[in-house]
A and B are shown apart, each in its own frame.
Chain A
Amino acid sequence: MQSWRRKSLWLALSASWLLILLRVFPVLRLAEPARRQAGAPQGWPRWLDAELLQSFSQPGELLEDGPQPPQAPRGGSCYRGACFDASRCRGGGLKVFVYPAVGPISETPRKVLTSIEGSRYHTASAAEACLLILVLSPDTPAGECHPELPQWDGGKNHLVLSLHPAPCLRIFQLGQAMVAEASPTMDTFRPGFDVALPLLPEAHPLRGGALGQLQQHSPLPGVALIAMAEERGGWRTVGTNFSACPWDGRCEQDHGPKQTHPRATLPNATFCLIPGRNPDALHFLQALQAGCIPVLLSPRWELPFSEVIDWTKAAVVADERLPLQVLAALQEMPLTRVLALRQQAQFLWDAYFSSVEKVIHTTLEIIQDRVSGASAHPSLLWNSPPGALLALSTFSTSPSDFPFYHLQQGSRPLGRFSALIWVGALGQPPLKLIQAVAGAQHCAQILVLWSSKKPPPPRWPETAVPLTVLDGHRKASDRFLPYSAISTDAILSLDAHSSLSTSEVDFAFMVWQSFPERMVGFLTWSHFWDETQGGWGYTGERANEFSMVLTSAAFYHRYYHTLFTHSLPKALRTLADESPPCVEVLMNFLVAAVTKLPPIKVPYGPWHQEAKPPLVPGSPRLRSEPRPAAQDCINQMAAGFGHMPLVSSRLRLDPVLFKDPVSVLRKKYRSLEKP
């Protein structure tokens, strides 16, 4: 019994000690890491006396930090306010004078001069200009860098412009002049004062320029993910399953399947890697043109027009020191962002870089924005189609006034329209038309532009909407002047001899509200390439496609009046004044160049056509005969634009139940089918 008891006691004792040891050892083992873990989630401590801490500034200190006299601009350091006297531009806006070329100059500076002279800011008199531009030529010998400039005045209000690296820029005493230089290095660039230009290839076109290569929104399947800019100017595409660092010489062996296209000047890939050295800036534009997303590896140069263009939307600026990370990020980039970057890169190419003229006009527009201060282009206008060159800030600075930004703004155009009836030289008062239009549901006002030689009738019919008579100046382009009497976003442009029914107007306006940036018309023309004449022609013949709508009956945004009057070169407008059909062509060119989309055709009752002879500019019978000068305007305009902007469409928009086999009474626009 005793021994059993002792045994059990010993057992109990040893069991207890075992337990104790078991308990202790793990604790001993855990003690060390436990300490570290407890420290892990610490963070910044909450001080007991945090409430008692003093503020970083004494109560009065922020108010009275000792007044100081305004500082004079220091030499060499310029920014806009100090070195550029914007008040000289206040009265009539920016006026630009360019020093004429001295002696023979090469191709590119000549294009620059032509572009500046074609700008709407150009003035021939140095006295009234507030910005004087000196164009440096890359081939000026270093000895002749100091031309005699009477207005130089220490460089004040001067812009020294060079599209190519000019040796003079390094030697020249710039003084207080601004510098617009291609791909300036970040160290010498003065943000907000200098302008960074793109590095353009030698043979960059003056106008128009090559269109972007992007034909579809999403990348083609199977296209290489990455193209790498090569030193000799070509591109090397790298397959999608490469391992690492294609730009790093050390990993040369690790390349996946690679193809080299030494001759391919434009890369065919989703991303284009561009090293950060200065000469590689040339690749940048190629990538933009190709719709290939530029991936800039630690660029040492300022991106072009960085003052206004938000490059984060179109390019990726990555650190070349993190190859693996950059590649991983590119491979895993969500499709949504890839799409957005591609489209934005392409848009920027088309809007600002595709021609010398666009580059120069963008430069002037940036300076104009600095001058105008609060009425400068908002960032949205610079960074979404159609771009700031086509969205004039003189029209408005509020994006929702333009036809292009309603989606982004969550706004919609005004729900009324103004009918603008043009009464030409021999026109009669269009009484019937006025009645038809005034009866339309959304008509806000009727404006009669009286360009006839006869005096306007003293009395006009009573209408439900106000009727105003404007006096025209007998010029064909008068009808597109931005009349201040136009109070609505939409304009229904009409000729005195147009014939329309109320139903047609109502429906066309509904359609226009969905497409406020396009022209919505009833009668159409189409353009074609005439092999025999070697030029463009256009016809009013009924065809399966069309590219223009007649402004004798069309809805469009009133902004196009401003654009027509203020942005088109004077030469084109003079040309258009010579014949009325030319004005219509020009308006269609303008809208197509802005939207890059065809106009929209809506149904037009066939019974109208009997009422008036169709306006056929070049009927097939006449085509073989030599065209009269007025008919040739389409070719001159294509030359003026630098390319043919018109886009063809093959469809017409009808009301939903149009010609459907249901009772006419159920249809909303029932008189569209029968008069």
Chain B
Amino acid sequence: MRGALGVRPPSPVACPGLPPLVPALPAQRWRPGAPRHPTRAAVARAPRHEPVTKRGAQPEAAVAEECEEEAVGVIMCASVKYNIRGPALIPRMKTKHRIYYITLFSIVLLGLIATGMFQFWPHSIESSGDWSVEKRSVRDVPLVRLPADSPVPERGDLSCRMHTCFDVYRCGFNPKNKIKVYIYPLKKYVGEAGVPVSSTISREYNELLTAISDSDYYTDDVTRACLFVPSIDLLNQNSLRVKETAQALAQLSRWDRGTNHLLFNMLPGGPPDYNTALDVPRDRALLAGGGFSTWTYRQGYDVSIPVYSPLSAEVDLPEKGPGPRRYFLLSSQVALHPEYREDLAALQARHGEAVLVLDKCSNLSEGVPAARRRCHQQQAFDYPQVLQEATFCMVLRGARLGQAVLSDVLRAGCVPVIIADSYVLPFSEVLDWKRASVVVPEEKMSDVYSILQSIPRRQIEEMQRQARWFWEAYFQSIKAIALATLQIINDRIYPYAAISYEDWNDPPAVKWGSVSNPLFLPLIPPQSQGFTAIVLTYDRVESLFRVITEVSKVPSLSKLLVVWNNQNKNPPEDSLWPKIRVPLKVVRTAENKLSNRFFPYDEIETEAVLAIDDDIIMLTSDELQFGYEVWREFPDRLVGYPGRLHLWDHEMNKWKYESEWTNEVSMVLTGAAFYHKYFNYLYTYKMPGDIKNWVDAHMNCEDIAMNFLVANVTGKAVIKVTPRKKFKCPECTAIDGLSLDQTHMVERSPA
């Protein structure tokens, strides 16, 4: 035997058909922040609402509609018809009777109208209620007066962790692994003197609650909820009264020391000392805060969120590709501590044109809002557009650690240089900020230029791309912020269903381009384990027995499995089977399907599987043993004997399939091939599209489907082991079907 085997090095020319490409199941990927399609529940619900409202306004118009809908209504329709026919009889009757009839019918009619009214009575209450809830004004919400002595929650417990302060029992068993979030109805809280505790609700908090309400997490059933979101707006601490707000929180119906309550805050603290977390006492409630420092942030319990920049909605800033820009470093913040200003001025003096330090404009011209204008000496710049002119943008601490400018900077694809010691970056629990930002300690501010200069250009471009992606996914809207926060909490509660680092951090382009090999660990399985041979057969018993006898001579064979695909005929009796040294099992199938060959049978106890046709008798036991040895060194690949090639046919504009002697191989026939049994599982349960059904319907091409599947998930080529004799295979004739199949599948493999 010649221990030789072929390899097809995947060259760019030969490879496009087996896109190394995309993991098998990209469709289910969740992309946080991307506009999610409305959920089924929401779709089903939306049209229902409208008729209810209309019905309340015009009950009569709704009758006919109702008749079609309900079974009871059919009876009523009949009675209406009866009544309509009734008056036609009236002129034929005597006057005495006529009065009688008229009275009678009017009674009936009145009764019917009363019925109709009564029937819609509860609905109309409901709909008018609906109407007021649906379309009422924020000013009309119920008023709650807080007594001056109502309880105040304790201050936040700094040692809180999910397994100490969070009541996970409320989340219970949930097959979808989604937490249920309840939102308290909006109320207006006033102190004893009638002074409002805070402004009722801000635009952003309203958006936030709407986003939660529209998401899969929402439930309106307070008993089933696992997380509670108060409708008390805490986004800005400056616009609320701390003690009274705390009292308002404490009287929430399910408050219970704040357990499982989630509070959102973006601007914590107030003058003069500006705490880095919300000052409102909140006991055990989780805080999603913008501007945490490491001293107030409860790792694994709180969530650090961005400070939303209202400019995100106001200004349209098209994406600008990565690359070097006009200014190397830019500072656009206006309220900076004089010390920082001095440092910045020094930087600018040293590096000249490359550094641009902007400040407020002293004389604002024609109605441009101050937020949209920045000046350097006499030169005015549009903000945030100017951010797109810089490669790096400073994000310095102000009074607060969290700065809205971070959002603008990311959006401009400018790499943020974060100089705010101890700041816990937004979503730092899941986002890898090293990929999108540079964090510089405050005392190193004067060296910032040289630190940035040392970053290679390719890495800067990568960071620019990453910054823009973070903005698109997690910063650009209140909705994105809300959903990312809930996803983080959800992942803590259902860790086994958590989404991965790659899902959080990889931009879509990377996700599509990368392959994560399911068998990535370099391992050479022990030889002692051997392999399981699977022979798919229909009725060629004689040839089958020859194959069994041949295969059983292979030293490493540990089990032989015959898949009997013929439902009309019983397999031969036990005594007739050839006597071999390894266990032989016959599996009878329910249906004559080609996919049965690739079913992950429980009987397969080895990792290596040899799929062999019942007519492959030309392979010697040495060749099969060598094939197994080769598989051990490449357990994530298909190792086969007869090879095939796919080619792009320029004339026909589709893929074609080549079996003649060629210099390249991209497939091996599964008429005789070793592979990992995990691919059986993938073939049976995870095959994309309806390829599996197509194969079963056409009784062909299962080998191509398998080759595509393995190449798609591993991104690797097959290995061809050279047999001593030329292979005669029965399948080589069906070229038409095969090429058809290939186009079929190429359409399905997202390239």
* A67:B338 contact, CB within 8 angstroms: yes
**CB closest residue in chain B, given A67:** B337
Interface stretch, picked from B200-208, B322-330, B571-579, B648-656, is: B200-208
- How near does chain B come to A13, taking the closest CB pair, in angstroms? 6
**13 CB-based A-B contacts, threshold 8 Å:** A16-B108, A24-B118, A46-B135, A55-B204, A66-B274, A74-B295, A379-B501, A407-B514, A407-B517, A650-B633, A651-B629, A651-B630, A657-B663
Q: A17-B111, A598-B633 are in contact. Are A54 and B203 (CB under 8 A)?
A: yes
* B521:A343 contact, CB within 8 angstroms: yes
* B163:A42 contact, CB within 8 angstroms: no
Complex Cα distance A61/B434, Å? 29
List residues of chain B with CB within 8 A of the CB of A375.
454-455, 459
Q: Which of A186, A346, A347, A511 contacts B299 (CB 8 A)?
A: A186
Complex Cα distance A189/B678, Å? 41
Interface stretch, picked from A133-141, A325-333, A416-424, A610-618, is: A325-333
* A23:B497 contact, CB within 8 angstroms: no
List residues of chain B with CB within 8 A of the CB of A5.
97
B263 lies within 8 A of chain A by Cβ: no
* B339:A656 contact, CB within 8 angstroms: no
Within 8 A of B (CB), among A304-350: 310, 312-313, 316-322, 324-326, 328-330, 333, 335-336, 339-340, 343-344, 346-347
Q: Which of B162, B220, B400, B516 contacts A43 (CB 8 A)?
A: B220
* B516:A408 contact, CB within 8 angstroms: yes
Q: Which of B133, B371, B443 contacts A42 (CB 8 A)?
A: B133
Q: A40-B220, A61-B238, A407-B515 are in contact. Are A82 and B206 (CB under 8 A)?
A: no
Complex Cα distance A513/B100, Å? 103
Given A22-B75, A42-B220, A653-B7, list of 7 further CB < 8 A pairs? A24-B118, A48-B135, A59-B370, A215-B525, A378-B432, A511-B7, A667-B663
Interface size on A, residues (CB 8 A): 140
B550 lies within 8 A of chain A by Cβ: no
Q: Mark A44-56, 1 if CB is under 8 A from B, else 0.
A: 1111111001111
**CB closest residue in chain A, given B212:** A44
Kindly name the residue among B2, B9, B79 whose own CB sees the greatest number of chain A CB atoms within 10 A: B9
List residues of chain B with CB within 8 A of the CB of A22.
72, 75
* A38:B126 contact, CB within 8 angstroms: yes
Complex Cα distance A273/B609, Å? 32
Within 8 A of B (CB), among A113-162: none
Kindly name the residue among B434, B438, B455, B526 whose own CB sees the greatest number of chain A CB atoms within 10 A: B434
Q: Mark A363-388, 1 if CB is under 8 A from B, else 0.
A: 00000000001111011000111000
Complex Cα distance A660/B6, Å? 11
* A43:B202 contact, CB within 8 angstroms: no
Complex Cα distance A150/B656, Å? 77
List residues of chain A with CB within 8 A of the CB of B112.
16, 19-20
Q: Mark A467-499, 1 if CB is under 8 A from B, else 0.
A: 000000000000000000000000000000000
Q: A44-B212, A335-B678 are in contact. Are A651 and B75 (CB under 8 A)?
A: no
For the complex of A and B, the 8 pairs showing the least CB-CB separation, nearest first, are: A410-B513, A81-B441, A44-B213, A343-B521, A56-B202, A298-B163, A656-B6, A67-B337
B581 lies within 8 A of chain A by Cβ: no
**CB closest residue in chain A, given B447:** A87
* A378:B173 contact, CB within 8 angstroms: no
List residues of chain A with CB within 8 A of the CB of B339.
69-70
**CB closest residue in chain B, given A509:** B9
* A410:B510 contact, CB within 8 angstroms: yes
A79 lies within 8 A of chain B by Cβ: yes
* B209:A44 contact, CB within 8 angstroms: yes
Complex Cα distance A66/B270, Å? 10
List residues of chain A with CB within 8 A of the CB of B452.
374
A627 lies within 8 A of chain B by Cβ: no
A41 lies within 8 A of chain B by Cβ: yes
* A63:B334 contact, CB within 8 angstroms: yes
B733 lies within 8 A of chain A by Cβ: no
List residues of chain B with CB within 8 A of the CB of A598.
633
- How near does chain A come to B458, taking the closest CB pair, in angstroms? 6
Q: Which of A9, A17, A56, A310 contacts B267 (CB 8 A)?
A: A56
List residues of chain A with CB within 8 A of the CB of B720.
656
List residues of chain A with CB within 8 A of the CB of B7.
511, 514, 653-656
* B643:A31 contact, CB within 8 angstroms: no
Q: A217-B521, A657-B663 are in contact. Are A79 and B9 (CB under 8 A)?
A: no
* B434:A321 contact, CB within 8 angstroms: no
Q: Which of B4, B235, B399, B505 contacts A65 (CB 8 A)?
A: B399
List residues of chain A with CB within 8 A of the CB of B443.
81
Interface stretch, picked from B136-144, B241-249, B613-621, is: B136-144
